[in-house]
Chains A and B, each alone.
Chain A
Amino acid sequence: DAKTTQPNSMESNEEEPVHLPCNHSTISGTDYIHWYRQLPSQGPEYVIHGLTSNVNNRMASLAIAEDRKSSTLILHRATLRDAAVYYCILRDNYGQNFVFGPGTRLSVLP
């Protein structure tokens, strides 16, 4: 299974942008980069995913490096509700199961 590396924890101030990095130097050409987050006492929640190009949705943006060996999840204005564990996961579209790492615990300070 392709591996990802994320910082254990990060802090942000409310209403400021947050950049959550993920390194995946062994990514293969068919691996998509998925991001999920898990709020306290809830199951993980889909955030965004992409293959090569940068992606935007109502929750976040995903910036993918040109060599695809790293990516960054961008929350444009952090709110207290964004405090969660964020998981970066690689998965191809041929039915691999998701492999969750420890993720990054994001704290948002008021």
Chain B
Amino acid sequence: KAGVTQTPRYLIKTRGQQVTLSCSPISGHRSVSWYQQTPGQGLQFLFEYFSETQRNKGNFPGRFSGRQFSNSRSEMNVSTLELGDSALYLCASSYDRGTYGYTFGSGTRLTVV
């Protein structure tokens, strides 16, 4: 079966712009989580959606937001981009909020210049 698909794979944006990243979970998975990975901070949890509702939120500013659609696909949005937002953004899906593990996508590499 198809894995977790994240688009685009690479993105270059300018400071002050906004960006939307997309995640298509494994078919049948209802939970989608987002993570930011940087060399300095490692993997940090952004938020989790389950059945279109945000269930958990990490310690990120309000410029970071997300949503989940009825087909479980999810998007995350970052407004007013800063240089420090340059990172690998990873999406993970699970049927049951991770009880039996999450499947991660390969990520979107965002570079802010």
Considering the chains assembled together, what is the distance between the CA atoms of A98 and B31 in angstroms?
13
Shortest distance from the beta carbon of B23 to any chain A beta carbon, whole Å: 11
Please tell me if the beta carbons of A97 and B56 are within 8 angstroms of each other in the complex.
yes
In this assembly, does A95 line the interface, its C-beta being within 8 Å of a C-beta of chain B?
A: yes
Please tell me if the beta carbons of B101 and A101 are within 8 angstroms of each other in the complex.
no
Pick the residue among A41, A98, A100, A101 that contacts B98 (CB under 8 A).
A98
Shortest distance from the beta carbon of B86 to any chain A beta carbon, whole Å: 16
Shortest distance from the beta carbon of A49 to any chain B beta carbon, whole Å: 7
Please tell me if the beta carbons of A43 and B90 are within 8 angstroms of each other in the complex.
yes
Residue of B nearest to A42 (CB): B106
In this assembly, does A10 line the interface, its C-beta being within 8 Å of a C-beta of chain B?
A: no
Shortest distance from the beta carbon of A103 to any chain B beta carbon, whole Å: 8
Tell me how many residues of A have a C-beta within 8 Å of chain B. Answer: 20
Please tell me if the beta carbons of B102 and A46 are within 8 angstroms of each other in the complex.
yes
Tally of A-B Cβ pairs under 8 angstroms: 48
Q: If the complex has contacts A97-B33, A97-B56, are A43 and B45 also in contact, measured as CB distance less than 8 A?
A: no
User: Which residues of chain B are within 8 angstroms of A100 by Cβ–Cβ distance?
Assistant: 35, 42-45
User: Which residues of chain A are within 8 angstroms of B45 by Cβ–Cβ distance?
Assistant: 97-100
In this assembly, does B13 line the interface, its C-beta being within 8 Å of a C-beta of chain A?
A: no
Q: If the complex has contacts A91-B98, A97-B56, are A45 and B48 also in contact, measured as CB distance less than 8 A?
A: no
User: Which residues of chain B are within 8 angstroms of A41 by Cβ–Cβ distance?
Assistant: 106
Please tell me if the beta carbons of A97 and B48 are within 8 angstroms of each other in the complex.
yes
User: Which residues of chain A are within 8 angstroms of B98 by Cβ–Cβ distance?
Assistant: 91, 98
Besides the known contacts A43-B106, A87-B43, A100-B45, 17 further A-B residue pairs in the complex with CB atoms under 8 A apart:
A42-B106, A43-B4, A43-B90, A43-B104, A43-B105, A43-B107, A44-B43, A44-B90, A44-B104, A45-B104, A46-B103, A95-B55, A96-B56, A97-B48, A100-B43, A101-B42, A102-B42
Instruction: List residues of chain A with CB under 8 Å of any chain B CB.
Output: 34, 41-46, 49, 87, 91, 93, 95-103
